[in-house]
Amino acid sequence: MKNLWFLFWLAISGSAMGQPSVKIHAYSQVMMPGTVPKDVTDENGNLVNVKRELPVNYYIYAVHVVSAKISFSEVWINGKYYKIQTNHVDTTPVVNINYNIPDNPVKVVLVPATKLRVVSIAPVDSPVNKMNPETWLRNMIEHSELVVCYIYRGKKYYIGVKKIKKLQPVAGI
């Protein structure tokens, strides 16, 4: 009987020491420009080839148990480091609606209905050059389109997402 109690307490203490399960849902959506000028000229009247990168919105959500006190601190998107802003999501499911075709809007469920805590993670500002990360982290960044860093009980943990799911482009104004 003593052996059973010992094994029971060992199992409980071992599970309490581990990190909580965090699931990441990641999406990107390109913003198509409104009217784009065909010809751009400089002050001398010469045609200038202007290549504009289309802006991309990232929708990143982390889902974890309510009892875990987790704070998210930074992300790498396509190898670029971003500072982040987080917000708790009060209701699920989280849905993205694309009204490009007014008669037939496209609905995509980004996060299914859940009783777990859902946190929205948004990259802010422009990408920043971060000092050289350790080799294992650099390897994770190179092999994942998204890497999310979070802090749990004073220790940093990293989660890699191989592919960010692409949503249909949305028309800009």
The domain spans of the chain are 22-171
Q: Region 56-61: what's the mean pLDDT?
A: 95
CA distance 8 to 46: 78
pLDDT at 14 over 50: no
**pLDDT given for residue 4 in this prediction:** 52
Average pLDDT on 153-168 reads 95
Measure the CA–CA gap between 51 and 87, rounded to whole angstroms.
34
Q: What's the mean pLDDT in 30-56?
A: 74
Q: Is the pLDDT of residue 66 over 50?
A: yes
Which whole-number Å values give the CA distances from 36 to 19, 30, 47, 73, 129, in the listed order?
A: 49, 16, 15, 37, 31
